[in-house]
Copies of this chain bind each other. A is one copy, B any other.
Amino acid sequence: MDSFELDARLARDCLVLGEMDMSLVLLMNNSLLPWFILVPKTTETEMIDLPRSEQVRVLEEINLLSAFVKNHFAVSKLNIATIGNIVKQLHIHIVGRTPNDCCWPNVVWGTTQRENYSPERVEEIRLALKRCLADKFTCKK
């Protein structure tokens, strides 16, 4: 993983909350939706190209982050996707959806509706995630 570096567009559009064993944990800087992104620390661009054991560890992190999003934001549906048509670096979107959100029932990708988070709100989310994931998550600023 020596050559891993966060993609410049992800770095620009998102806030780095911290990291787990396999992945960086990002928050899309759009307070209209609970939109998280896991970035596995690898240079592969497709999940299928990771060794099976690493896939299962990433799956575990998807599960942990999904449960946090579902419970903390009380959403009614999770949208989970690897797309990567524009940003090649492997990254997994985990988005909490509710029938009254700005994009429902459409997907969030491509939406132009956007509102930045306040620094205080980001800190609240980072701390809530830390409380939920405990030693499986390391905060980063």
Contacts and interface: CB of A to CB of B under 8 A. Distances in A.
Interface in A80-103: 80-86, 97
Stoichiometry (number of copies): 2
Nearest to A107: B109
Contacts of A116: none
A97 B79 contact: no
A67 interface: yes
Mostly, the A contact residues are: mixed
A109 B85 CA distance: 14
A78 B86 CA distance: 12
A71 to B, nearest CB: 11
A28 to B, nearest CB: 15
A47 B80 contact: yes
A1 interface: no
A34 to B, nearest CB: 15
